[in-house]
Amino acid sequence: MLTLIAKAIQAEERGNELARVSVHSTLTELNDFRPGYIYLVVENKTDTLLTVDRIEIAEYPDFIDIRKSSLDTTVVSRKKPVLVYPDKDTVNVGASGIYELFIEASDQLKPGKHLLLFNVLYHGWVPVETQQDTLSVIVRHPMTGSTTKTHEVEVKVFGEGEILGALSNAVTFLMMPGFIMVIVFAMAWKISAPASYQGKLPAWLKEAKIVDLQFWVIAITLSLIMARWIYPILTQLFTSGRRDYLYGYGFYDIVMMWGFSVLMGALSGLIAGGGVSLYRRISYRKAIHGNENPLEFLQKAVALGVKEAWLKKTTLKESGKSGYLIEEDDIEKESLWVIPRVHVLWQASADELYARFEDKIFDDKAILSDVLNTLVDGKKEGHEGKGLQGIEWEKSSHYIEKPLAVKKANLDSLKERENIFSSTMTGQ
């Protein structure tokens, strides 16, 4: 009996002699659009039938799905990663069993080299020599065994190499969003900004100088913001679910990230350029040009900070004509606006407004905005015959005839402040 037990122990130690397992596959590179097969070949080394019990997938990345074939809809469970073959698949003497595994990547990968670890479990019968009385007898004992095999596969994202290669290898996937946003921003700026502002971008941005550190400071900052916050939020809002390429990405992530980056860069450039254009239009409307009517001209002057209704009188050296300085002198200004007197004509029935206007214009402390408010009220009452008949620059041989931007060198010394208005009523 002791001899029999010893022989059985020896048989257990010979478990690996039951079969030889090898891995065959051309699948050395896997991406989200290119699945492949791995074949496990189990060779029966015994002189009896060999039974393959199951194949355990001991280790594989969480973004890889494994099935028995491309036609099989059942994916190996990650909780119990085992492929069980029905009826304990048997391998004949001297034959080999071929077991295919269909390897498919999900649409969010982790690029790099990854290891697949398989454990093939089988059982069979082996001869064991035993002693019965004085005779040596060969008997067959059941034997279990297992063989572990590995296969290394390099995971890549479909299209990533081609896309990044088109960018002259200047960027990686992580840095691509900021790179695209900066480039598209400059393109959109050229479309939307005023012509005089289009060339005012920094050279590193205008010419997309990727060797300039300033370019990459902006691009990397935008890329990190996109990766950490913007991309997960945008995918949650506009796609079927939240995605985060810091934990894995695929071809669809490249497409969406590229689209989001182009959209954000274009919108930023258009908004910035449009904002400058709008600012220019608003500034233009607020600025004094000299062709405005007297009321509009003085309203702009009030908006620019003129308060007093009485202005300092000056004389132009070249013509000898007089005018009134409508803006304060500033060392940075080369010229100053000078205006003629303003004549206001009231309708015959505008007694109340006329009297109010007269009281204000002859007050040396009058506020220009208050005077203009009276004129605005006069315009409103004009359609009833009780308001303003007209307002114009006063024609006089001693005064300039319209507002002029005069160089400071052509202005004579300033005199005391004076009332710039004159007024009459129709019929007077």
Whether the CB-CB separation of 225 and 190 falls below 8 Å is answered with: no
Q: What is the pLDDT of residues 141-189, one digit of tens each?
A: 788 899 999 999 999 998 888 777 767 555 788 889 999 999 999 999 9
What confidence score (pLDDT) does residue 13 get? 47
- Structure token digits, residue 395: 């024609």
Whether the CB-CB separation of 403 and 337 falls below 8 Å is answered with: yes
- State yes or no: pLDDT of 428 exceeds 70: no
What confidence score (pLDDT) does residue 143 get? 86
Percentage of residues in the chain having pLDDT higher than 90: 61
- State yes or no: pLDDT of 378 exceeds 60: yes
- 186-204: average pLDDT: 86
Whether the CB-CB separation of 286 and 101 falls below 8 Å is answered with: no
CA 33 vs. chain centroid, Å, equals 26
> How far apart (Å, rounded) are the C-alpha atoms in residues 303 and 307?
9
- Structure token digits, residue 378: 């006069």
Give me the long-range contacts of 159-168 (CB less than 8 A, separation at least 24): 159/251, 159/254, 160/111, 160/251, 160/254, 163/254, 163/258
Domains of the chain, first to last: 2-155 (2.60.40.10), 160-285 (no CATH), 294-425 (no CATH)
Give me the amino acid identity at 399: Y
Give me the amino acid identity at 206: K
- State yes or no: pLDDT of 2 exceeds 70: no
> How far apart (Å, rounded) are the C-alpha atoms in residues 312 and 336?
12
- State yes or no: pLDDT of 63 exceeds 70: yes
- Structure token digits, residue 112: 């790099």
Cβ-based neighbour number of residue 186 at 10 Å: 19
Q: What is the pLDDT of residues 274-289, one digit of tens each?
A: 999 999 888 888 899 9
Looking at every residue in the chain, the average pLDDT score rounds to: 88
> How far apart (Å, rounded) are the C-alpha atoms in residues 366 and 370?
8
Indicate the pLDDT class of residue 12, thresholds 50, 70 and 90: very low
SS (H, E, C) the chain: CHHHHHHHHHHHHCHHHCEEEEEECCCCEEECCECEEEEEEEEECCCCCEEEEEEEEEECCCCEEEECCCCCCCCCCCCCCEEECCCCCEECCCCEEEEEEEEEECCCECCEEEEEEEEEEEEEEEEEEEEECCEEEEEEEEEEEEEEEEEEEEECCCCHHHHHHHCCCCCCCCCHHHHHHHHHHHHHHHHHCCHHHHCCCCHHHHCCCCCCHHHHHHHHHHHHHHHHHHHHHHHHHHCCCCCCCCCCECHHHHHHHHHHHHHHHHHHHHHHHHHHHHHHHHHHHHCCCCCCCHHHHHHHHHHCCCCECEEEEEEECCCCCEEEECCCCCCCCCEEEEECCEEEEECCCCHHHHHHHHHHHCCCCCEHHHHHHHHHHHHHHHHHCCCEEEEEECCCCCECCCCEEEEHHHECCCCCEEECEEEEECCC
What confidence score (pLDDT) does residue 96 get? 94
> How far apart (Å, rounded) are the C-alpha atoms in residues 177 and 253?
12
- 211-232: average pLDDT: 91
- Judged by average pLDDT, the poorest of 205-214, 259-268, 379-388 is 205-214
- State yes or no: pLDDT of 3 exceeds 60: no
Q: Which residue has the higher pLDDT, 207 or 246?
A: 246
What confidence score (pLDDT) does residue 169 get? 53
- 187-207: average pLDDT: 84
Percentage of residues in the chain having pLDDT higher than 70: 92
- Structure token digits, residue 304: 């620019």
Label residues 216-243 b or e (16+ Cβ within 10 Å = b): bebbbebbeebbeebbbebbeeeeeeeb
Q: Which residue has the tokens 């506009």?
A: 238
Give me the amino acid identity at 212: D
Whether the CB-CB separation of 65 and 74 falls below 8 Å is answered with: no
Q: What is the pLDDT of residues 297-328, one digit of tens each?
A: 999 999 989 999 999 999 999 899 999 999 88
What confidence score (pLDDT) does residue 243 get? 93
- State yes or no: pLDDT of 114 exceeds 80: yes
What confidence score (pLDDT) does residue 232 get? 95
- 366-372: average pLDDT: 95
